[in-house]
Amino acid sequence: MPDQWIPPSQNRRSLDLAALGIPSGRYPLPDPTDYLTNPDGSRDGAARIDAWLHRETDLATLQPAEVAFIRQHFLRCVEEQRQKSITYFTNKVPRRYSTAQPTAIAQAWAQSVIASPEETRSLLIVGPTGTGKTHYAYGVLRAIAETGAPTGWSAYTAADLYAQLRPRTGRDSEATFEAMASTDVLFVDDLGAAKLTEWTEEVTYRLINHRYEQCRPSIFTSNVPPAQLRDVLGERISSRLTEMCERIALKGDDRRKGMAA
């Protein structure tokens, strides 16, 4: 729940980036005086660009060359953001999965997350050990990074997640929980790998319920067969997962066996 309601009349008008074909986000603004060095540049044009940046006029009042100048600026920002996202992905992802490439389904899911996160169902990637679930999930995160959209993500194995949330003196585990629960895209790997205790079940429930209630997209992997999900994770968790997730079932042999020398 938001803790403050601002009447729409007080909301600042935001720049209409969609009309420029630019994904919404926070970007540095162009300097209108740079327009003077443009082949079509003029003082009047720079003034119109300035007025648009100050939300005083509509895009329709600008000349095509002025719109192109603004668009070029934001396209450069998007590309810069894209490079940063990919670098972040490559540095943060466990080395083994840093080259994971998205499948076509992963790419489509990433596009849907960017366009309408609240309408995008989460992913539950299931399959036996070694079929490539973690690899697949990191491929999805790469697809998100490659869009360059300002969409954040966090990835944890379930075991690491519990370790980070376990109450310890001097650490605010509730703040850690909040950060995990509110990230744009949350990836929890190996759900149900260890037998749940009362505490891990409660934490898992709270986290999944938070994502469920806020309609935030998540990616889960599990090697628990779907028919046993309820027994392993409990009714409350498995029922939410079933409703909120699109299931991707990976089949085949343990890829690790094929890799053994």
- Decide: helix, strand or coil at residue 126: strand
Q: What single DSSP character describes residue 215?
A: T
Distance CA 240, CA 104 (A): 26
Q: Give me 188's structure tokens.
A: 């929890």
CA atoms within 13 A on the CB side of 239: 4
Least separation in angstroms between CB 190 and Mg ion: 6
Question: Does the protein bind Mg ion through residue 134 (CB under 5 A)?
Answer: yes
Task: Report the residue from 85, 122, 134, 151 that binds ligand ATP according to the rule CB under 6 A.
Answer: 134
Question: Does the protein bind ligand ATP through residue 135 (CB under 6 A)?
Answer: yes
Question: Does the protein bind ligand ATP through residue 73 (CB under 6 A)?
Answer: no
Task: Report the residue from 84, 92, 168, 255 that binds ligand ATP according to the rule CB under 6 A.
Answer: 255
Least separation in angstroms between CB 189 and Mg ion: 6
Q: Residues 221-240 vs ligand ATP: string with x where CB under 6 A?
A: --x-----------------
Q: Which residues does 217 contact at the CB level (< 8 Å), separation at least 6?
A: 113, 117, 120, 121, 122, 123, 184, 185, 211
Judged by CB under 6 A, the number of residues near ligand ATP is 13
Question: Does the protein bind ligand ATP through residue 218 (CB under 6 A)?
Answer: no
Judged by CB under 5 A, the number of residues near Mg ion is 1
DSSP string, 98-119: TT----HHHHHHHHHHHH-GGG
Least separation in angstroms between CB 160 and Mg ion: 13
Q: Which residues bind ligand ATP (CB under 6 A)?
A: 96, 127, 129-135, 190, 223, 255-256
